[in-house]
Chain A
Amino acid sequence: MEERPDDRPDLPPHLRPEAREDGRGLWPVRIEDATLSAGGRRLLDGLSFALPAGGVTALMGPNGAGKSLALRMLAGLIRPDSGAVRWGAGETPIKGAVALVFQRPVLLRRSTAGNIDHALAIAGVPRRERAARRAGLLALAGLERLADRPARALSGGEAQRLALARALAARPRLLLLDEPTASLDPAAVAAIEDLARRIVAGGATVLLVTHDAGQARRLADRALFMHAGRIVEDAPAARLLAAPRSPQAQAYLAGRLLV
């Protein structure tokens, strides 16, 4: 009988975030007064927020508000024109401590298992440990039977589950999810949300970009509302979603906000 995702066990210890003793810590991860311009447009305009360890934070806001840019900054992919991004006392992220899952998963031209193996190899997992880790990640994402399938032949939901499992290869402490369920059907959305819940229960911190107020309500304990390159409201998720105080969040949640 096929096992349904919600019957699956909790995250086994060897897939949980690794408590690396790196001397400088990771928390809080924060963006301080960041600005970024491109093509004569100001994309980020004094963006500041901090993420302490633990929990799920939803980052919401209209298209073009700068949410994906904020995520890329926290992953160390881009630097602000002015201001700073900090990981604890560090000015670069510790390798493997932060993982980013894209809205459209970037899948290598390899099998499902091959994608996970690759991430494990880059994370520096010793060869003899990889098989067990790979099996654990495939089971976590419910992809055991698709292990040998070319990753690019997976359905949208399967592909995103693989991207999420693969992101755990390095046992990251901060997981950045950029609209992970955009364009997925309700069952696939439920599977991803379930996976995210188990990842958080395993001890990881999640920053989730989403347009889905229901998803933010189901997963997040804190919500940040972003508009025109800065945070305009930072509140407990339930409160912000039920009774937003900033005019921008009020308009957005009522379905009438443009950048």
Chain B
Amino acid sequence: MNDGASAFATALALIVSGDPEFLGIVGLSLGVTLTAVLISCVVGMPLGALLAVARFPGRGALVVAFNALMGLPPVVVGLLVYLALSRSGPLGALGLLYTPAAMVIAQTILVTPIVAALTRQAVADLNAEYDEYLRALGADRVETIGTLLWDARFSLATAALAGFGRASAEVGAVMIVGGNIAHVTRVMTTTIALETSRGELALALGLGIVLLAISLGVNAAVMGVRTQAERVGHA
């Protein structure tokens, strides 16, 4: 217990002092996760909207697939990305394995289905209400999707935050494809796993506190988005 208490004190000191290694790990984590979430939104939101609006054969199967992919096990994604990026894999020539880019790829694969599925749900609900109006106006497909995405913007912000929460807390995939190399691919979650196993509790605890704070921040942001949506009459 004494160990724990002193580790906690050292952890707080790490956070307050702005230790460069500590900050490097936090910075890389945020960089990788935010990049992955951004790409997921750019891909997943229009895709989700299209699934909500378009009628084509196989659409139902795609919707089920995306909903199922929301629960993808991160280690499996890590393994598949590893196989693709390893030297003998189809994308081995790119030399991306054990780089932050590989971690971004793995997290993007994890987060895109979440963003797409949540977007589809929000846009489908809205489309049920807007469909006749937009058709009577003579809106084309692009105008329709643009209108729905903009009017679902509060739900979409929540979807992006859900994706961010998933990516920032994820450890299995980035461990496999990043390799947890110090100063290169070591992020908060992988460092916590490593340092805890080595008995270095201070750094692990310090990073744990930052992760918790980020998680709290994301949840506060979700709540803020909801409150704002209700305030401007979106509810």
- Residues of A near B232 (CB, < 8 A) are 109, 150, 153
Q: Given A109-B151, A110-B151, check contact A122 B139 (CB 8 Å).
A: yes
Of all chain A residues, the one with the shortest Cβ separation from B235 is A152
- The number of residues on chain B lying at the interface, defined by a beta carbon within 8 Å of a beta carbon of chain A, is 17
- Residues of B near A180 (CB, < 8 A) are none
Q: For the complex formed, measure the closest distance between the CB of B146 and the CB atoms of chain A, giving whole angstroms.
A: 10
- The segment from A54-62, A94-102, A126-134 that touches chain B is A94-102
From A98, A102, A153, A170, give the contact of B133 (CB < 8 A): A102
Contact: A118 with B136, CB < 8 Å? no
| Cα distance A23–B143 in the bound complex, in angstroms | 27
| Cα distance A153–B232 in the bound complex, in angstroms | 8
- Residues of B near A75 (CB, < 8 A) are 136
Q: Given A122-B138, A122-B139, A122-B143, check contact A109 B133 (CB 8 Å).
A: no
Contact: B139 with A151, CB < 8 Å? no
Contact: B233 with A77, CB < 8 Å? no
Q: For the complex formed, measure the closest distance between the CB of B199 and the CB atoms of chain A, giving whole angstroms.
A: 53
Q: For the complex formed, measure the closest distance between the CB of B122 and the CB atoms of chain A, giving whole angstroms.
A: 11
| Cα distance A76–B138 in the bound complex, in angstroms | 9
| Residue A106 is within 8 A (CB to CB) of chain B in the complex | yes
- Residues of B near A102 (CB, < 8 A) are 132-133
Of all chain B residues, the one with the shortest Cβ separation from A93 is B138
Q: For the complex formed, measure the closest distance between the CB of A145 and the CB atoms of chain B, giving whole angstroms.
A: 17
Of all chain B residues, the one with the shortest Cβ separation from A119 is B137
Contact: A95 with B233, CB < 8 Å? no
Q: Given A106-B132, A119-B137, check contact A152 B233 (CB 8 Å).
A: yes
From A77, A96, A108, A153, give the contact of B151 (CB < 8 A): A108
- Residues of B near A108 (CB, < 8 A) are 130, 147, 151
Q: Given A150-B232, A153-B233, check contact A77 B135 (CB 8 Å).
A: yes
Of all chain A residues, the one with the shortest Cβ separation from B135 is A77
Contact: B132 with A77, CB < 8 Å? yes
- Residues of B near A151 (CB, < 8 A) are 233
- Residues of B near A121 (CB, < 8 A) are 143
- Residues of A near B132 (CB, < 8 A) are 72, 77, 100, 102, 106
Contact: A152 with B234, CB < 8 Å? yes
| Residue B129 is within 8 A (CB to CB) of chain A in the complex | yes
Of all chain B residues, the one with the shortest Cβ separation from A121 is B143
Q: For the complex formed, measure the closest distance between the CB of B143 and the CB atoms of chain A, giving whole angstroms.
A: 6
- Residues of A near B234 (CB, < 8 A) are 109, 150, 152
- Residues of A near B134 (CB, < 8 A) are 122
A→B interface (CB under 8 Å): 72, 75-77, 95-96, 98-100, 102, 106, 108-110, 118-119, 121-123, 150-153, 170
Rank and list the top 8 A-B pairs by shortest CB-CB distance, nearest first.
A150-B233, A152-B233, A95-B138, A106-B133, A153-B233, A109-B151, A100-B136, A150-B232
